[in-house]
Amino acid sequence: MPIFLHKHLRVVTWTKPYFLGPGSARSLDANSVQEYCRRLFRFKDIEVLRFRSWSDRRRFTKQKKQQRQLNRPTLPEGTKLIKFPIQFSDNAATPYSATVMISDMQYGVGYGTSKKQAKSDAAKATLEILIPEMRDKIQEDKRIGSRAAGRSSDTDLSFFDEIKIEDPRVFELCSKTTEPSPYAILLTCLQRNFGLGEMDIKYEVNTLRHQKNEFTMSVGAHTAKVICKNKREGKQRTSQAILQALHPHITSWGSLLRMYGNRSVKSVKDKKHEEQEITLLQSKASINQPNWAILDKLRQEMGKLSDKPSPIGKFVPPADENLPSTSGADLNNVQL
């Protein structure tokens, strides 16, 4: 491998040294070097501000912010700002109420379980007022949404079909999914079958060792005891045990939610809304002519009935099997 020796500098190199000549980099100034480099590269000038103190820098930053606020784009003249004042209603099913205000004038009012839903309902009601042609479109969207909500609700309850009635996780899962607690389900069951006057629920709490409690609940002829940490947990778990004793033929918590949950009975608002729809359809009738709006509504309701699954047959239980009565008029469906 060849090597090269510079005798004057006494330096050994791997490559052959070359002669620079009389020129030197020290003979060039900064401007000439910059001018030469500008012909080879693209330069970008950056302005950097220097401040003598922190207060000067702070003052400059505030001035820049104020300047940006003054240069913000403004709305054109004649723009109407839509406001949604949020209020709280007394109805537990729809605790939020929103009102559309345009130029300090009240238009539509909406209710919902959240502020977003209340705003959406208020906006739809306002569109029906300002653009009457949108009413049919909005009503059709509501009907489609109600059908989808019915299907999704059954899908949500299918999660509880895998959970036993006496599972200790039931209360926690119901709290996370906004479903009624076991004690609320028990009260609904007793109210529907025996009324408010005949509900007699007795509690008894005994303190045990190691910070444990024995909670006892008695409903009629049924009594349940559980070992729990506090009264709240014992109240829910004993309610589950009582519900299992009252419904021996039911094994999953999802079945009880379908019987006594929020989806088992239509809310007062939904019933009132359906009645108002039929009342408004009556006003569209013409003299000596059929009311086509009522007929369309009847056709839709008949379509809903046809969409329901039809029974595949009739179940005939064995003669020695004692099943509970299925009549709605018989109040002794649940034996206490």
**pLDDT tens-place string over residues 14-64:** 887 776 666 666 778 888 888 888 999 998 889 888 999 999 999 999 999
DSSP states along 129-150: HH-TTHHHHHHHHHHHHHHHHH
Q: Cα separations (Å) of 70 from 64, 66, 76, 87, 231?
A: 10, 6, 16, 34, 61
Angle, helix 268-282 to helix 292-307, in steps of 10 degrees: 140
Q: What is the mean pLDDT of residues 165-173?
A: 89
Give the whole-number percent of the chain exceeding pLDDT 90.
10
Mean pLDDT over each residue of the chain, to the nearest integer:
79
Higher per-residue pLDDT: 155 or 89: 89
- Identify the pLDDT of residue 13: 87
**Residue 178: CATH number of its domain:** 3.30.160.20
Cα dihedral: 149, 155, 161, 163 (round 10) = -90
Residue % of the chain over a pLDDT of 70: 78
Q: Check pLDDT > 70 for residue 274.
A: yes
Residue 85 has pLDDT above 50, yes or no: yes
Higher pLDDT, 75 or 150: 75
Tell me whether residue 112 is in a domain: no
Rg (Cα) of the chain, in Å, rounded?
39
E strand map for 197-313? 201-207, 213-219, 222-228
Average pLDDT over residues 274-288: 75
| pLDDT tier at 292, thresholds 50, 70, 90 | confident
Residue 327 has pLDDT above 50, yes or no: no
**What's the average model confidence in pLDDT over 65-77?**
83
Matching residue, tokens 């003598």: 52
**Mean pLDDT within 276-294:** 77
pLDDT value for 328? 37
pLDDT over threshold 70, residue 278: yes
Most trustworthy range by pLDDT among 84-88, 126-130, 255-259: 255-259
Mean pLDDT score, 232-256:
88
Q: Which two tokens stand for residue 74?
A: 């403004």
Residue 267, pLDDT > 60, answer no
Cα angle 14, 19, 22; round to 5: 150
Total tally of structural domains belonging to the chain:
1
The Cα–Cα gap between 208 and 217 comes to 17
Determine the residue type at 298.
L
Whether 266 maps to a domain, the answer reads: no
pLDDT at 16: 79
What is the mean predicted confidence (pLDDT) over 284-308?
80
Residue 41 domain-assigned? no
The distance between the two most distant Cα atoms of the chain, rounded to a whole number of Å, is: 124
Q: Within a domain: residue 326?
A: no
pLDDT at 150 over 70: no
Name the residue with higher pLDDT: 116 or 335. 116
126 domain residue, yes or no? no
Confirm whether 246 is domain-assigned: yes
Write down the residue that tokens 């949020």 correspond to.
86
Asked if residue 163 belongs to a domain, the reply is yes
Is the pLDDT assigned to residue 89 strictly greater than 50? yes
What range does the domain containing 211 cover?
Answer: 156-260
**Could you tell me if residue 56 is inside a domain?**
no
Candidate ranges 22-31, 82-91, 252-261, 262-271; pick with highest mean pLDDT: 252-261
Q: Are 278 and 295 in contact (CB under 8 A)?
A: no
